[in-house]
């Protein structure tokens, strides 16, 4: 049985000492003082640790079952889902006009981290719903919003996103699902979609599918794609449920992990659908949710590793094996606890320093989305730049972190009994879905770097520069600002290399895209750690707050700067080797 301790204090530090949430001038944020967010986070943490976490292993073991065309979720998921609805958690950051609580997105992300950490597969049922809610909220007609949103805010109905087809994954232009216009303004949707998370289940009365399909007249490739609302059960004028629609589950996939979530093959056989947003502008409608959706997966990537780390710490303190090389530390025991050994520390510090940096980056990204939603175009541009980094870097490193945590257990980590294998298997999907990480790197280097004339990446560099200038003195200057400057210089050199080369040979940039994403990730986490260090040192100097917590924060940050940030040099060297070593071989030579 695994443990899960909600990291409320660490979140409070990030929200108030670093982001200074209630003073950030955002409408609605001024009420979010320490007491308020603590109450919200405590309550979410209680649900996560007491209700969701105990079902994590159950979901993994039982998985979902397809019985006579209906998907059955694991034991206990229904009651837990009801508890989540009853607590209003599904409505937290939704529009009050449709029953939401109108909280900012950053609070949704903070509570979301806990739900993911406790039970990632379970949380996807409401997570996907939130994505579909956002799409309808942004692009739906008044009638569509009235019809669907209140029920989706409460999660009486859940939502899905249907993009992938067997032959068409990243390349959506190839999709074949057809939408035939009907005289009444609706469409008949026909085709097969795969990898549909939460595609069907027994937790809600209805499932609202958002489906990408091609309606006549849209032209080739992605230009011909539109987005449709296709409910499992048709909805009557009065809001009650009508006939079963022509959509069914063809099969459930057997997966490496997230067994508790139903990954469905969905068959659309002339199912009734309604256009969402503009005809032939389906890709654009999908892309408006992209930042949120990808930040959500970045969140999953590290959140999955949070309990893995916590359990590894507990095991390292409990498990007696060997003696400290500097002298016995647990004389009354048969051996010292694992945590005395430097290499165990090295692993735990790698985990801890990544996870706290990742949390800060995810919350900063969410805060930027709140600003963007309030009309701040610079924030919108910056978060759009950071999104592939958040998604790609945090999921790669989150998986790596879960593997490190599993390793602490030795052989006990490899058997399923202790739950460490599940964390690793679950974390693995985050590197793949919502755009595989190679696609994130391509998005970053191929699109985001040059977006709006390179304005956003310049803004990021300016932000780092201004921050370094302001805080360059004192111990924080030596331990944090100096390495941040060096890492940021590596990033700028890499960006410059791409700019100089990519006109002549775009492969020079794309061959280094993955390394650039990681290089950027390290600089972003370096910036997060520098910001946290400034906040922690400030509180310490003022004699404010818990000194042990603040000193631990500084020590953890120093570890990141000293032992993780040097990776930027290797990424830069890889980038600067250009396309030749990557592209030299003929395909037949592999």
Q: Interaction with its own copies in 351-390: which residues (CB under 8 A)?
A: 352
Instruction: Considering the complex, state which of residue 160 and residue 186 has its C-beta at the smaller distance from its own copies.
Output: 160
Shortest distance, position 275 Cβ to its own copies, whole Å: 26
Q: Least CB distance from residue 531 to its own copies, whole Å?
A: 19
The window from 115-123, 162-170, 280-288, 489-497 that contacts its own copies (CB under 8 A) reads 162-170
Which 510-529 positions form the footprint of its own copies (CB under 8 A)?
510-511, 513-514
**Are 114 and 48 within 8 A, CB to CB?**
yes
Interactions with its own copies, residue window 284-343 (CB under 8 A): 313, 316-317, 320-322, 325-326, 334-335, 337, 339, 341-343
What would you measure as the largest C-alpha separation in the chain, in angstroms? 83
Shorter beta-carbon distance to its own copies: residue 451 or 570? 570
Is 563 a binding residue for its own copies by CB under 8 A? The answer is yes
Number of Cα atoms under 13 Å in the Cβ half of residue 143:
8
Question: Which is closer to its own copies, CB of 416 or CB of 462?
Answer: 416
**CB–CB of 306/280 below 8 Å?**
no
> Is the Cβ of residue 60 or residue 93 nearer to its own copies in the bound state?
60
The single residue listed with the structure tokens 């569509």 is: 144
Measured torsion, CA atoms of residues 118, 121, 126, 129, in degrees rounded to the nearest 10 = 150
- Among positions 181, 270, 438, 472, the unique one binding its own copies when judged by CB under 8 A: 438
Task: Determine the Cα–Cα distance for residues 147 and 318; give it in Å rounded to an integer.
Answer: 54
List of residues 6+ apart from 327 with CB closer than 8 A: none
Subset of residues 223 to 262 that bind its own copies, contact rule: CB under 8 A: 253-257
Catalytic residue among 400, 434, 462, 588: 434
User: Site residues for its own copies, window 100-129 (CB under 8 A)?
Assistant: none
Helix (H, G, I), strand (E, B) or coil at 540: helix
Q: Is 584 in the site for its own copies (CB under 8 A)?
A: yes
Q: With respect to its own copies, which residue has the nearer C-beta, 44 or 355?
A: 355
Indicate whether 195 belongs to the interface with its own copies (CB under 8 A): yes
Q: Which is nearer to its own copies, 465 or 551 (CB)?
A: 551
Query: Of 381, 393, 364, which Cα lies nearest the Cα of 517?
Result: 393
Give yes or no for a contact between 307 and 2, defined as CB atoms under 8 angstroms apart: yes
CA torsion sign, 249 to 159 to 161 to 517? negative
Exactly one of 86, 171, 205, 269 binds its own copies (CB under 8 A); which one? 171
Angle between helices 567-576 and 482-502 (to 10 degrees): 10
Report in angstroms how near the CB of residue 55 gets to its own copies at its nearest: 19
Nearer to its own copies, 37 or 430 (CB): 430
Output 580-584 pairs: Cβ under 8 A, ≥24 positions apart: 582/507, 582/511, 583/507, 583/511
Least Å distance between CB 26 and its own copies? Answer: 33
Using CB under 8 A, pick the residue from 243, 331, 542, 589 that binds its own copies.
589
* 559 contributes a contact to its own copies by CB under 8 A: yes
Three-state DSSP class for residue 277: coil
527 in Cβ contact with 400 (< 8 Å):
no
- Nearer Cβ to its own copies (277/419): 419
Binding segment for its own copies (CB under 8 A), chosen from 83-91, 362-370, 530-538, 571-579, is 571-579
DSSP 8-state class, residue 337: B
Positions in 452-511 near its own copies (CB under 8 A): 505-507, 510-511
Stretch that binds its own copies, among 147-155, 180-188, 439-447, 462-470 (CB under 8 A): 439-447
SS3 state of residue 194: strand
Give yes or no: 434 in active site: yes
Nearest distance, CB of residue 313 and its own copies, angstroms:
5
CA distances (Å), origin 138, targets 20, 132, 133, 164, 509: 28, 10, 8, 22, 34
Q: x/- binding map, residues 256-285, to its own copies, per CB under 8 A? A: xx-----x----------------------
CB contact at 8 A, 123 and 149: no
For the chain, how far is it from start to end, CA to CA, in angstroms? 45
DSSP H or E segment with residue 228: strand 225-231
Site for its own copies in 410-429 (CB under 8 A): 410-417, 421, 424-425, 428-429
- Give, in order, the Cα–Cα distances in Å from 132 to each of 137, 241, 286: 8, 19, 10
Please identify which residue in 65, 167, 447, 469 interacts with its own copies, judged by CB under 8 A.
Answer: 167
Which positions are catalytic? 434
């Amino acid at each position: 049985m695994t443990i899960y301790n909600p990291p409320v204090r660490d979140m409070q530090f990030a929200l108030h000492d670093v982001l200074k949430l209630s003073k950030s001038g955002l409408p609605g944020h001024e009420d979010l003082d320490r007491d308020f967010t603590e109450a919200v986070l405590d309550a979410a943490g209680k649900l996560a640790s007491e209700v969701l976490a105990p079902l994590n292993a159950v979901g993994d073991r039982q998985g979902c079952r397809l019985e006579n065309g209906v998907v059955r979720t694991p034991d206990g998921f229904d009651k837990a889902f009801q508890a989540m609805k009853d607590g209003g958690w599904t409505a937290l950051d939704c529009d009050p006009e449709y029953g939401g609580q109108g909280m900012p997105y950053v609070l949704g992300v903070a509570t979301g981290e806990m739900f993911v950490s406790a039970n990632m597969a379970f949380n996807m049922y409401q997570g996907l719903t939130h994505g579909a809610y956002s799409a309808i909220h942004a692009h739906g007609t008044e009638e569509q919003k009235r019809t669907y949103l209140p029920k989706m805010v409460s999660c009486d109905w859940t939502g899905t996103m249907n993009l992938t087809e067997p032959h068409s994954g990243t390349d959506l232009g190839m999709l074949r699902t057809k939408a035939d216009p009907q005289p009444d303004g609706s469409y008949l949707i026909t085709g097969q979609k795969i990898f549909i998370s939460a595609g069907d289940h027994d937790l809600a009365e209805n499932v609202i599918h958002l489906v990408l399909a091609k309606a006549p007249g849209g032209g080739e490739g992605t230009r011909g794609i539109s987005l449709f609302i296709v409910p499992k059960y048709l909805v009557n004028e009065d809001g009650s449920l009508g006939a079963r629609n022509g959509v069914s589950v063809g099969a459930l996939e057997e997966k490496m992990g997230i067994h508790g979530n139903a990954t469905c093959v969905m068959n659309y056989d002339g199912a009734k659908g309604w256009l969402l947003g503009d005809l032939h502008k389906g890709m654009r409608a999908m892309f408006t949710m992209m930042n949120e959706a990808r930040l959500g997966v970045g969140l999953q990537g590290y959140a999955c590793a949070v309990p893995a780390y916590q359990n590894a710490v507990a095991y390292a303190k409990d498990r007696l094996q060997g003696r400290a090389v500097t002298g016995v530390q647990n004389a009354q025991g048969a051996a010292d606890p694992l945590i005395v050994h430097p290499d165990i520390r090295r692993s735990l510090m790698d985990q801890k320093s990544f996870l706290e940096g990742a949390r800060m980056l995810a919350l900063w990204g969410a805060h930027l989305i709140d600003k963007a939603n309030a009309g701040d175009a610079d924030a919108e541009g910056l978060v759009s730049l950071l999104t592939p980094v958040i998604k790609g870097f945090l999921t790669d490193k989150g998986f790596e972190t879960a593997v490190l945590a599993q390793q602490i257990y030795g052989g006990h980590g490899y058997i399923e009994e202790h739950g460490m294998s599940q964390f690793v298997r679950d974390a693995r999907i985050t590197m793949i879905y919502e755009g595989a990480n190679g696609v994130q790197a391509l998005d970053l280097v191929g699109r985001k770097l040059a977006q709006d004339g390179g304005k956003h990446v310049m803004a990021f560099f300016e932000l780092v520069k201004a921050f370094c200038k302001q805080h360059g003195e004192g111990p924080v200057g030596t331990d944090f600002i100096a390495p941040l400057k060096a890492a940021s210089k590596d990033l700028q050199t890499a960006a410059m290399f791409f700019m100089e080369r990519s006109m002549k040979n775009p492969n020079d940039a794309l061959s280094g895209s993955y390394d650039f994403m990681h290089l950027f990730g390290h600089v972003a986490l370096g910036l997060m750690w520098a910001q946290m260090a400034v906040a922690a040192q400030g509180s310490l100097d003022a004699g404010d707050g818990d000194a042990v917590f603040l000193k631990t924060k500084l020590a953890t940050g120093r570890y990141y700067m000293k032992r993780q940030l040097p990776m930027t040099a290797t990424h830069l060297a890889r980038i600067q080797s250009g396309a030749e070593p990557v592209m030299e071989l003929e395909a037949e030579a592999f």
